Amino acid sequence: MAGPLHGVTVIEFAGIGPGPFACMMLADMGAQVIRIDRVPTGENRAVDTLTRNDGIVDRGRRSVALNLKDGRGVEAVLRLVASADILVEGFRPGVAEKLGFGPDVCHARNAKLIYGRMTGWGQTGPLAHAAGHDINYISLSGALYAMGSLDRPPSPPLNLVGDYGGGGMLLALGTVSALYEARKSGIGQVVDAAMSDGTATLMAMMYSLRAKGQWRDRRETNFVDGSAHFYAVYECADGKYVSVGAIEPQFYRKLLEACAIDDAHFQQQWAVEDWPRLKKKLGAVFRTRTRDEWCQLLEGSDACFAPVLDMTEAPFHRHNVARGTFVESGGVIQPAPAPQFSRTPSEVPPPAPLAGRDSLQLLKEVGYNDDELAAMSRDAVVYQQTAGNGGSQAARIV
């Protein structure tokens, strides 16, 4: 068995951002993910190239390319849905219904189906139909306001908080939770996953601290926002960086001891007004050695220390190598499936397919005959990719 979701079938409507990330996680856990791609067209070749789903996030799929503006394409989707466990779509609210495969229609074909809906603002609310991206969704929860330097505008944390943490992971958890319930009740349901909701959930600790008077609505005045000297990033003598996170007093003492700091000023660990000066002093200490020298001294100790690695370095760090955190698949170094399971370990899914690579085979599996497929191909309702995409090369740990 490859992964704990082996035997689960997921229908994914191709998109960008959190929906594909959720489906990557499901595929990583062993689910069969069937991606519904659109039929490539000559006049949209530039757009097709820009938006094609062929990255690491799109690994582990089978692909069928269908024209969803044709009723026969919609019927093909519904036949696939009839034997699926989970459906994931990321259209604006109401679009799936207009295309003919909304929740009611799909549940009429498959009452146990878990219908996952991934949006920025959710299916309801005054902003539900407005366009947006990660940066907008994390703005509404208080998350973006809390990030960055005090003397500059808030800093977007890549698209990790909205798209992936508050979006894709939220949807993956929601659909698997609903699937667990459906296995008992025999009835499916709709999972309304909104990035604005998920980002708010990620802020639970900060809202808790705020309620206790331990969090300020002012950047660089809180202990985990980079303002505290014991929870910050420092430049080394070679221009590279290290991170320290010695919050607890015993870890803080270990940091001071290892750095040979005996300045009595550092005993005022939680004196917020002293943090700027202590940060400058600690910064001067870290500039006395290179990053590798600090690693030799501090890495692996209880000083809560780690080097700040770039994406070229990270896969080859000894800890990541030992755990198999990164793998190479199809000639591409990429994050391995996580978390790790003791009894049903995940396998690294094969590289992302080109759009339509599995069209005819998938449709045959749900009952289409050769004559029907020939007619649908002739009328551009279905597209079968014939060019190779490197195959499913074996993966290896980096």
pLDDT for res 53: 74
Q: What is the pTM of this model?
A: 0.93
pLDDT digits (tens, 9 = 90+) for 201-256: 999 999 999 999 999 999 999 999 999 999 999 999 999 999 999 999 999 999 99
Query: Helix (H, G, I), strand (E, B), or coil: what is residue 113?
Result: coil
Q: Nearest CA to 182 among 108, 90, 254, 110?
A: 110
Q: Is the pLDDT of residue 26 over 90?
A: yes
> Is 302 designated active site?
no
35 neighbors 58 (Cβ within 8 angstroms) = yes
Q: Is the pLDDT of residue 41 over 80?
A: no
Confidence category of residue 45, pLDDT binned at 50, 70, 90: low
Instruction: Kindly list the distances between the CA atom of residue 103 and the CA atoms of 97, 106, 283, in Å, as whole numbers in the listed order.
Output: 8, 5, 56
Please tell me whether residues 69 and 146 are part of one structural domain.
yes
Please tell me whether residues 136 and 172 are part of one structural domain.
yes
The catalytically annotated residue of 85, 163, 225, 358 is 163
Instruction: Kindly list the distances between the CA atom of residue 15 and the CA atoms of 11, 60, 111, 173, 332, in Å, as whole numbers in the listed order.
Output: 12, 15, 25, 19, 22
The catalytically annotated residue of 133, 192, 274, 302 is 133
Please tell me whether residues 15 and 158 are part of one structural domain.
yes
44 neighbors 337 (Cβ within 8 angstroms) = no
Q: What b/e sequence results for 215-246 when a residue is b if at least 16 CB atoms lie within 10 Å of its CB, and e otherwise?
A: beeebbebbebbbbbbbbebebeeebbbebbb
How many structural domains are present in the chain? 2
Q: Is the pLDDT of residue 17 over 80?
A: yes
> Is 48 designated active site?
no
pLDDT digits (tens, 9 = 90+) for 341-352: 999 999 988 999
Answer whether residue 263 is part of any domain: yes
Domain that holds residue 295: 231-316
User: 316, 351, 370 — which closes off a domain?
Assistant: 316
Please tell me whether residues 119 and 247 are part of one structural domain.
no
Q: Nearest CA to 305 among 234, 223, 229, 244?
A: 244
Query: Helix (H, G, I), strand (E, B), or coil: what is residue 92?
Result: coil
* Rounded Cα gap, residues 90 and 194, in angstroms: 10
Q: What is the CATH number of the domain that holds 144?
A: 3.40.50.10540
Q: Which amino acid is at 2?
A: A
* Rounded Cα gap, residues 3 and 312, in angstroms: 28
